[in-house]
Structure 1
Amino acid sequence: MFYRFLFPSKPDGAAASTILLIVRIVFGVLLMNHGIEKWANYQELSAVFPDPLGIGSPLSLGLAIFGEMACSMAFIIGFLYRLAMLPMIFTMGVAFFVVHGSDPFAVKELAFVYLVVFVLMYIAGPGKFAVDHWLSKTFAPKKA
Structure 2
Amino acid sequence: MIYNFLFPTKPNTTKTSLLLLAVRIIFGVLLMNHGIQKWSNFQELSAVFPDPLGLGSPISLGLAIFGELVCSMAFIVGFLYRLAMIPMAFTMIVAFFIVHANDAFTVKELAFIYLIVFIIMYIAGPGKFSIDHIIGNEMARRKLKS
TM over 0.5: yes
Higher relative CO (Cα under 8 Å, sequence separation at least 6) belongs to 2
Q: Which runs of 4+ in 1 moved over 2 A?
A: none
- Written as runs of structure 1 = structure 2, the 5 A alignment for 1:124-143 is 124-140=124-140, 141-142=143-144
Deviation at 1:143, TM superposition (A): 6.5
Equivalent position of 2:20 in the other structure = 20
Q: Could you tell me how far apart the structure 2 residues matched to 1:36 and 1:83 are?
A: 21
What is the TM-score of this pair, normalised by structure 1?
Answer: 0.91
Segments of structure 2 that go 5 or more residues without pairing to the other structure are: 1-10
Equivalent position of 1:100 in the other structure = 100
Equivalent position of 1:73 in the other structure = 73
- Written as runs of structure 1 = structure 2, the 5 A alignment for 1:28-43 is 28-43=28-43
Percent identity of equivalent pairs: 70
Aligned amino acid, residue 133 of structure 2: H
Equivalent position of 1:111 in the other structure = 111
Q: Could you tell me how far apart the structure 2 residues matched to 1:72 and 1:85 are?
A: 8
Q: Could you tell me how far apart the structure 2 residues matched to 1:81 and 1:29 are?
A: 15
CA RMSD of aligned residues (A): 1.2
Aligned amino acid, residue 106 of structure 1: T
Segments of structure 1 that go 5 or more residues without pairing to the other structure are: 1-10
Q: Which moved more, 1:102-111 or 1:11-20?
A: 11-20
Superimposed CA distance per residue, residues 68-87 of structure 1 (whole angstroms, 9 cap, x where no aligned partner):
00000000000000000000
Size of the aligned set, in residue pairs, is 134
Larger Rg: 1
Aligned amino acid, residue 134 of structure 1: I
Q: Could you tell me how far apart the structure 1 residues matched to 2:144 and 2:91 are?
A: 38
